[in-house]
Homo-oligomer: A and B are copies of this chain.
């Protein structure tokens, strides 16, 4: 089945409520209750769908951030938002009936949990949404999670990636349990199930032993769309093998081009069509009706960053290194290899070296943007950069971050999307019904297909 043709750019809306800016929730326009308000999630999902975005995309952390108190002191800081949010695979199920076309992507870790349960849950969302589910396959980074699953700390980076590879193999094997047409449910003959179309996985590997079959018919999309955010060495290896969508942190055009070429080449080396791997760097847009308004909006956001929170975020990203021991206005020191988010750490160090940034400046950039590309300007200027990146082979689209919710998302839908549509870069309506249709990637064949 050939998916419908679509214009070139793909857009997702990233949800890290109440804001990807560490203090965005304090902005006068912000609704800080967006972290737990289902009514707001419904309105935001519907806004993103009005904007014809490919998908909404929910981050996840299976812990209260900072609760493990790795750096001593109080287990949580009163000013720190982003502590609580709905479990995202549950949330996307609830958003399915209030939307009709937009893709619904939720993050779930492979470091804890088991592939049978995960395959059931995401497969269920794919069924009840008519083929709109996506799984952002991650390895756990935030150390706070380990204590909630019986561990003192995460398995190391290599072990986590090895487990993630096997987790993917088991989950995709389970999704192939039944071929199309395996359930005739024929009242006359009494045949409910066609055993010839059922397959038992019998997986026995280093990390998992899973018999199968999965107790779901084949998904509308064959299997949910797989997203992956790993940009480190093992992360790229995993993403290029398994991911349909890659969410990455890139703020330099040349670096992004190099990443794009590398990942597409790796995908080809895995025997995949590189066109079926969509690379979507994070992008936090700060806009306004004029350049001046956009710049003023950015200053109002910058004024919210508090250095303590920002430096704590930077310390967290550095794993066990307490960045607070270094002078705030001195250069960013060399960082030891982290067991946490290695790729974003490398991205930040490269940016700091390139732009000669101090610890404070790096921390503020992280605090304002989560370490992703931050773009300030009126819609034409923003669209210029997005178009440049797309045409330069630096990306297939963008994962849009928001400093707070819901206004900046509405602004994108009302002002940036129309600008991209005028340029013929982005769809004016959905051509298909599934997330694979929107992304222009085919339903994968079953491993049992002959």
Report A's interface with B, CB cutoff 8 A.
Answer: 18, 23, 25-26, 28, 30, 32-33, 36, 38, 41-42, 61-64, 67-68, 74-81, 83-87, 89-91, 93-94, 96-98, 112-114, 116-117, 120-121, 123-125, 127-128, 147-150, 177-178, 183, 185, 187, 190-195, 198, 200, 208-217, 306
Contacts and interface: CB of A to CB of B under 8 A. Distances in A.
Given A80-B192, A217-B84, A38 B128 contact: yes
Given A90-B128, A113-B114, 11 more contacts: A36-B216, A64-B215, A67-B213, A75-B195, A87-B120, A91-B93, A94-B125, A113-B113, A114-B149, A116-B148, A150-B208
Contact of A114 (B86, B112, B183): B112
B74 A195 contact: yes
Contacts of A85: 215-216
Contacts of A120: 62, 87, 90
A68 B96 CA distance: 33
B127 A210 contact: no
Given A120-B87, A192-B25, A67 B200 contact: yes
12 contacts: A26-B190, A30-B187, A36-B216, A63-B215, A64-B177, A67-B212, A75-B200, A80-B192, A83-B192, A85-B215, A91-B128, A97-B98
A215 B84 contact: yes
A78 B187 contact: no
State the main secondary structure of chain A at its contact with B: loop
Contacts of A213: 64, 67
Most chain B C-beta atoms within 10 Å of own C-beta, residue among A76, A124, A192: A192
A81 B190 CA distance: 10
Most chain B C-beta atoms within 10 Å of own C-beta, residue among A63, A96, A190: A190
Given A191-B79, A194-B78, A84 B117 contact: no
A116 B60 CA distance: 14
B87 A121 contact: yes
Contacts of A117: 62, 87, 112-113
B25 A90 contact: no
Contact of A33 (B64, B98, B185): B185
A127 B195 contact: no
A74 B120 CA distance: 24
A193 B78 contact: yes
Contacts of A149: 114, 116, 210
